[in-house]
Structure 1
């Protein structure tokens, strides 16, 4: 079977008229060109070039096979171009996991823009307070909050620092009054997360050991709904609390409760064009959100 590289060498010499020029064009040695052209002639049993001191010229048989060689070249280039175009085409399904609040705030509202930009890109959003295992293929990309993921094989980028503080419904604030400091929060019944060992619960226990607990909920959306119902006050991300109609921020952000956010994926996943496109899109949307609400968030430029 003919070696495609031998045809490349043949075509280069036929077009340039010399092995030296062909070697420069193909960025190989002149001896390689000469050797491979001779090997091609020996394999097909046909003399393709007349060799003179002034250069190479095609024999009649060489001229007759030139169109066929050019056809092979065109087919090979077309195949290569098709592979490259497929690699560039943003298409496929990406599975993204994050907490419900981040999905509702950043991902779901921008799906229309994402589809307009990449019509063939599909996103499966899995909201969960549990960290799905990216290394086992449970998801392709994760937007996580809290301590930095430590698995060495994960690709982790610090995206954002989210501030949090107390919020209550405006009717409850009218009834109980605006607190002047942290101590006065004690007059509000509190809505607590179900996760008793979580950062917020631990902080609340340390600072409000005698707090009146209205009830507990296991998702942020449930806590927000409870605060909107006027049941009590709760700690919420400023991003969510400030944008929720009827809620009042009771105090400035609490420094100890600032929560870092991380974009997490694997090296194999981020090398796939459609997954990389989604990652870049999500980072862009988060940065735009931060730019619209500079008082609520601090952002770290993604690498």
Structure 2
């Protein structure tokens, strides 16, 4: 048997980790960007050189042996060490330049952030934005993204940032169906036809409200995006809760009740602690915070359509130099 220290290479650890996480060769091949036969051959060569089996082959998938578990654990530590080193390098950038990966959801991007991002790109042309749409939390520790812009009341404890605003929600209906919306009680509204968010967004406070207060037979339509929910209300399918900053910009919609504080959620700008001193991260967070502050009353449901310009109105604020606050 060969000396294991001479037989092993960095890529061998990555191979074992990929197979273990995918529980098979096909998934590992996709992760590594190679074909199935290459993964099969490399694993066979590695086990032969070590004189040990790293996986037990079962009908349910590949299961790590004791030796394989040790190798995967070391691979995971190596992966984290590399990610930590990459974050520290990124955090030492001296000028706002390079690529910045930002994750957010489609609702915020379409109705709030795209005009802000456009102004940022025009003002800080040395920074290239890579926007990733995802409702689930990406792993900023492994730099799946550098900045997360999230609607949440519970930001991850391992991230730092600022609460830029509070997103207000209210119950809306089609304006044509409610020519005189004033004076409607909750009892009146519960007798109407409703639309609701899908079960995948059931943890949201507004989703719980509809689920707990509205009779199930009155909920005639569910959709798993806020954008789709807005379209459904505007189409007259039913009434439902919507973010004020979206619904108030649509003349075809009307508030049927004041914004409900129980529906509100925070708008957070987040990054990893290792990146908070990065020039491009700091410049981006400060810029977005300033832009969001300009339309904060609309986001928080305090401004009517006539009170302030649309969110995509052009502005050219000065760049801020302060760092993101924890």
Task: Report if TM-score (shorter chain) is over 0.5.
Answer: yes
Describe the SS at the equivalent of 2:274.
helix
Pick aligned residue for 1:188 from 188, 192, 198? 192
Q: C-alpha displacement at 1:198, in angstroms?
A: 3.2
TM-score, normalisation: structure 2 = 0.59
- Contact 2:181 2:254 (8 Å CA) reproduced: no
Deviation at 1:112, TM superposition (A): 2.8
The aligned residue for residue 283 of structure 1 is: 289
> Which deviates the most, 281-290 or 181-190?
181-190
Q: What CA distance in whole angstroms lies between the structure 1 residues aligned with 2:185 and 2:175? A: 18
Residue 100, structure 1, aligned to residue 100, structure 2: no
After TM superposition, give the deviation of residue 146 of structure 1 in Å. Answer: 2.3
| 8 Å CA contact retained: 1:160, 1:261 | yes
Q: Residue 169 of structure 1 corresponds to which residue in structure 2? A: 174
Per-residue Cα deviation, 1:207-234 (whole angstroms, up to 9, x for no partner): 2235511211111111111112111111
TM-score scaled to structure 1, two decimals? 0.64
Counterpart pick for 2:205 among 192, 199, 203: 199
State whether residues 179 and 185 of structure 1, in contact with CA within 8 Å, keep that contact through their aligned partners in structure 2: no
Structure 1, 250-259 or 177-186: larger mean CA deviation: 177-186
Aligned to 1:120: 126
Q: In 1, are the aligned partners of 2:244 and 2:301 still within 8 Å (CA)?
A: no
Q: CA offsets per residue over residues 234-262 of structure 1, 9 Å max, x none?
A: 10111111112311111001121121222
Q: Secondary structure at the match of 2:242?
A: strand
> 1:248 aligned to 247, 251, 254, which one?
254
Q: Distance in 2 between matches of 1:232 and 1:215?
A: 8
Q: Secondary structure at the match of 2:154?
A: coil
Query: Given that residues 107 and 226 in structure 2 are in contact (C-alpha distance below 8 angstroms), is that contact kept between their aligned partners in structure 1?
Result: yes
Deviation at 1:289, TM superposition (A): 1.0
Q: 2:224 aligns with which of 209, 218, 224?
A: 218
Conserved? CA contact 2:100–2:128, under 8 Å? yes
* Alpha-carbon offset, residue 90 of structure 1: 2.0
Q: 1:197 to 1:274 in 2, by over 3 A?
A: closer
Q: Map 1:1-303 onto structure 2 (within 5 A).
A: 87-151=93-157, 153-174=158-179, 180-194=184-198, 195-210=201-216, 212-291=218-297, 295-296=301-302
CA distance in 1, matches of 2:325, 2:161: 10
Residue in structure 2 matched with residue 73 of structure 1 by the alignment: none
Q: Distance in 2 between matches of 1:96 and 1:254?
A: 30
Query: CA 1:127 to 1:204, structure 2 compared with 1: closer, same or farther past 3 Å?
Result: same
- Paired residues of 2:165 and 2:300 also in contact (CA < 8 A): no
- Alpha-carbon spacing, 1:273–1:249, altered in 2? closer, same or farther (3 Å): same
Aligned partners of 1:106 and 1:285 also within 8 Å: no
Contact 2:244 2:299 in 1 (8 A): no
Q: In structure 2, what is the Cα distance between the partners aligned to 1:232 and 1:294?
A: 24
Give 1 or 2 for the bigger CA radius of gyration. 1
